[in-house]
Structure 1
Amino acid sequence: MTPGIAKFVFVMMAVGWYLIRYRYARRARREKVVRSVRGARENTLLLISLTGLGIVPFIYVATAIPHFASYDFQPAQAWLGVVVAIAALVMFRLTHRALGRNWSLSLDVRENHRLITDGIYRKIRHPMYSAFWLWAFAQALLLPNLVAGFAGLIGFGTLFFGRVAREEQMMLETFGDEYREYMARTGRIMPRLF
């Protein structure tokens, strides 16, 4: 394992992410949105997340900037990053596959939207967020730079903590008791242990 290979793995994780998402985004566009909370707040949260998970680390991969924040590369840490990156992509794929046409980038309810409670959603309410947390941890492990490596945790963390409560409120308003029962038997981003 070398720094160059670790950067390559990070880039391939992003490519895999795009390839998975592209197919489902095309399908989802065909479904009419009947309710959305997209607005300035949501767009700002998405931009912060994109900056941390995409813009900052890709500047580092391309230029090694910011130089002052770099630290010695640790091959074992990078290997762990590879494992976490693979887990992120698997989780991301399972999430999209389960959601199908219900998927959306923002907080949207589509026509004929149904509550997904099977597949990866059987034990976890927000596995898409789980996948993004895995991405952020993989980024921190693969990129030996305190700014670029940890930007994903900060960027995505801002989106997660600024959005998840609003998303759950929207789901409660849409699905009512069905969603309350679902919440009682699932974990938010990790399966409940008992």
Structure 2
Amino acid sequence: MPPDAVGEPPRNIEASLTGGVAMRLEGIRSHRGYSEKVRLFSAKVAVWLVAATLLFVHHAYREDGLLNLLLELAGSGMLFLAAVGRIWSAGFIAGQKNLRLIQDGPYSVVRHPLYFFTFLGFLGAGLAMESFVLTGTMITIFLVTHLPVVRREEDRLRELFGEEYGRYARRVPPIIPKPWLFRCPSSLELECRAFNRAVFDASLIGLIVIGIEVLEWCHVHGIIPILFRLY
């Protein structure tokens, strides 16, 4: 679930920037590319390790129990919100990142909405697996792999936008949204290529629900053995 996969400046706009700004953008892009690769690699390795373990792990609750149903519904709901929220956020930042400070839509209630909705995705995946232990594991993976990136992103934005970002940061929280701050313009420009990529990335979240349901069916019918049961 790459939170910063959208919003590269269109080349024709970038070409019109002054030399100093263009050099700063190039340095930012290089730094972001390296940190993004490290973060994505770490997150993918951790998630794949969990997925490999999950093949032989099942929850310890009754299949027809109320708790089992509530966990599954909560997880599916959060995965849905994660997908919709990432698409919503991408609509505001696609093609605009590093060119101007986005402060409308989801960015009016939280400074890093893509990370917030990514967190909902990790949380939702854990709950959809109907295990509190696996939910805690997914939350830990998110905190370890994403929080350092949020801090670096904060430093980058302060360097790029200066006092404008300082005022914005004093008003809007970094991760936990304040819905009463919401504001939205009557219209906005959309960079279609970046937005389409964000829609595709978000649509892949639906595969998590499908994968979990197929795995559970294989466990219930004895196709894949259950070696451990977790609460």
Change in Cα spacing, 1:40 to 1:119, as seen in structure 2 (3 Å) is closer
Counterpart in the other structure of 2:69: 75
Identity of aligned residues (%): 21
Counterpart in the other structure of 2:93: 99
Shift of residue 101, structure 1, vs aligned partner: 1.5
1:21-32 to structure 2, matched below 5 A, reads 25=6, 28=8, 30-31=10-11
For residues 8 and 121 of structure 2, what CA distance do their matches in structure 1 show?
Answer: 23
What one-letter code is carried by the residue in structure 2 that aligns with 1:98? F
Alignment root-mean-square deviation, CA: 3.0
Shift of residue 155, structure 1, vs aligned partner: 2.1
What one-letter code is carried by the residue in structure 2 that aligns with 1:55? W
Counterpart in the other structure of 1:152: 138
For residues 49 and 138 of structure 2, what CA distance do their matches in structure 1 show?
Answer: 8
Q: Larger Cα Rg: Structure 1 or Structure 2?
A: 2
For residues 91 and 187 of structure 1, what CA distance do their matches in structure 2 show?
Answer: 17
What one-letter code is carried by the residue in structure 2 that aligns with 1:116? I
CA deviations on 1:87-131 (whole Å, 9 max, x unpaired) are 11121111111111246xxxxx4xxx1111111111110001101
For residues 128 and 81 of structure 2, what CA distance do their matches in structure 1 show?
Answer: 14
TM-score (norm 2): 0.58
For residues 122 and 134 of structure 1, what CA distance do their matches in structure 2 show?
Answer: 18
Change in Cα spacing, 1:101 to 1:59, as seen in structure 2 (3 Å) is farther
CA deviations on 1:110-158 (whole Å, 9 max, x unpaired) are xxx1111111111110001101110011011011356754443222211
Aligned partner of 1:55 among 33, 39, 48: 48
Q: Which moved more, 1:39-48 or 1:135-144?
A: 39-48
Q: Which runs of 5+ in 1 are unaligned?
A: 1-16, 104-108
For residues 147 and 40 of structure 2, what CA distance do their matches in structure 1 show?
Answer: 12
For residues 34 and 95 of structure 2, what CA distance do their matches in structure 1 show?
Answer: 25
Shift of residue 70, structure 1, vs aligned partner: 4.2
Counterpart in the other structure of 1:161: 147
What one-letter code is carried by the residue in structure 2 that aligns with 1:71? A
Q: Which runs of 5+ in 2 are unaligned?
A: 15-24, 181-231
Change in Cα spacing, 1:151 to 1:43, as seen in structure 2 (3 Å) is farther
TM-score (norm 1): 0.68
SS class of match (2:95): helix
For residues 71 and 97 of structure 1, what CA distance do their matches in structure 2 show?
Answer: 41
- Corresponding pairs, count: 160
- 8 Å CA contact 2:35–2:149 kept in 1: the answer is no
What one-letter code is carried by the residue in structure 2 that aligns with 1:124? V
